[in-house]
Amino acid sequence: MKTNPVVGVVGATGAVGREMLKILEQRDFPAKEVRAFASAKSKGTKIPFMDTEIVVEELTENSFQGLDLALFSAGGSISKKFAPLAVQSGCIVVDNSSAWRMDEDVPLVVPEVNPEDLEWHRGIIANPNCSTIQMVVVLKPLHDVAKIKRVVVSTYQAVSGTGQKAIKELEDQVRQIFNMKDVECKVYPHQIAFNCLPHIDVFLDNDYTKEELKMVNETKKIMHAPEIKVTATAVRVPVFYGHSESVNIEFYNKITAKEARAILTQAPGVQVLDNPKENIYPLAIYAAGEDDTFVGRIREDDTVEYGLNLWIVADNLRKGAALNAVQIAEHLLIKDLLKVGN
């Protein structure tokens, strides 16, 4: 068992990569050494870590020599090229891109939902889409009790999901509007400040976006429930951090709102905030910086025989990306699975 692995963070200068480093430090991950990698233009950048700084190295084909574990957050094309090289070097990869998620030989894991899938990894483990993660940690404990038939989800996703450039674009557009200047749109096709864009990722031939179909397909894989019908509408909103979701669930069996609250109160990684009379419900501004997924507005849907409506919020950079990856790494250590060829 490797109790003190050498860890590399690939894409360390991006929003998620920096969050990965922060969470490794906050959770006191037992690494012998932590190294940071990025593109050539970021080489030499210094990132605070623990009581010192990590100097960013250029990612090359030889970067994985001596690494036990690599947390990838550098985009699908980078992952497709470098993840197999890492595995060949004896390094386990936890990848945050969409490159490997639907590969049948790669486990797609949310530790609160399907940690058992880590046991059959072959060197690469996929981190799910941010919106999928926060939804399935709420769906799974309900599915275990009443069995889900259909899910209709509408997401309200923060700009940080697009990265640092999108955060800056929202900041710049707000300033431009208040200073009576023309709004510049570089990251998104339309103004995002004081606006909502029903467009995340590219549109496909069926007029759904790639983001929407990620939620459909990943939910089924993670929950081992191909029979669940899922449909999604993904919307970008002018919020910096924290994705929100309106989720309608149809069940095969009866489950009341009271029963759902009781189940979710006991669910790992979930906090119930549900007292509408006191204006208590999940908000993105309160979820930002937090590790848990928050759920509220739990109520029965009387348009179907057995249905519930929920409002789910989580920090997309933490539980939606970096934290989930680190939790996977922690489980690999605990279960002695930090080795290629499981």
The model's pLDDT over 45-103, given as tens digits with 9 standing for 90+, comes to 999 999 999 999 999 999 999 999 999 998 899 999 999 999 999 999 999 999 999 99
Task: Round to whole Å and give the CA distance between 113 and 96.
Answer: 17
Q: Which domain holds residue 326?
A: 6-128+321-334
Statement: residue 342 has pLDDT above 80: no
Q: Report the candidate in 209, 169, 210, 208 with the shortest Cα–Cα distance to residue 190.
A: 169
* Whole-number Cα distances in Å, 151 to 85, 91, 110, 209, 226: 38, 37, 19, 17, 12
222 within some domain: yes
For 113-151, the pLDDT digits (tens) are 999 999 999 999 999 999 999 999 999 999 999 999 999
340 within some domain: no
For 250-292, the pLDDT digits (tens) are 999 999 999 999 999 999 999 999 999 999 999 999 999 999 9
Task: Round to whole Å and give the CA distance between 281 and 300.
Answer: 16
User: Which pLDDT value is given to residue 338?
Assistant: 87
Same domain, 139 and 49: no
User: Which pLDDT value is given to residue 2?
Assistant: 63
15 within some domain: yes
Q: Would you name the residues annotated as active-site residues?
A: 130, 243
Cα end-to-end span (Å), the chain: 13
Same domain, 143 and 277: yes
Statement: residue 3 has pLDDT above 80: no
Task: Round to whole Å and give the CA distance between 146 and 161.
Answer: 32
Same domain, 140 and 289: yes
Same domain, 111 and 198: no
Statement: residue 205 has pLDDT above 90: yes
Identify which has the larger pLDDT, 200 or 340: 200
User: Which pLDDT value is given to residue 339?
Assistant: 75
Same domain, 217 and 94: no
In the chain, the number of structural domains is: 2
Domain containing residue 63: CATH number: 3.40.50.720
Paired strand residues for 121: none
1 within some domain: no
173 within some domain: yes
341 within some domain: no
Same domain, 242 and 328: no
Same domain, 41 and 99: yes
Statement: residue 1 has pLDDT above 60: no
User: Which pLDDT value is given to residue 166?
Assistant: 97
Same domain, 20 and 82: yes
Mean pLDDT computed over 315-342:
90
Task: Round to whole Å and give the CA distance between 72 and 95.
Answer: 5
339 within some domain: no
272 CA to centre of own chain: 20
Mean pLDDT computed over 224-247:
98
Same domain, 181 and 246: yes
H-type helices in the chain, by residue range? 15-26, 76-88, 130-146, 164-178, 210-222, 257-265, 284-287, 323-334
Domain containing residue 225: CATH number: 3.30.360.10
Same domain, 272 and 137: yes
Confidence category of residue 31, pLDDT binned at 50, 70, 90: very high
Statement: residue 182 has pLDDT above 60: yes
Same domain, 181 and 71: no
Chain mean pLDDT for the chain: 96
DSSP character string of 107-125? -B--TTT-GGGGGG-SSEE
Same domain, 122 and 271: no
106 within some domain: yes
Statement: residue 341 has pLDDT above 90: no
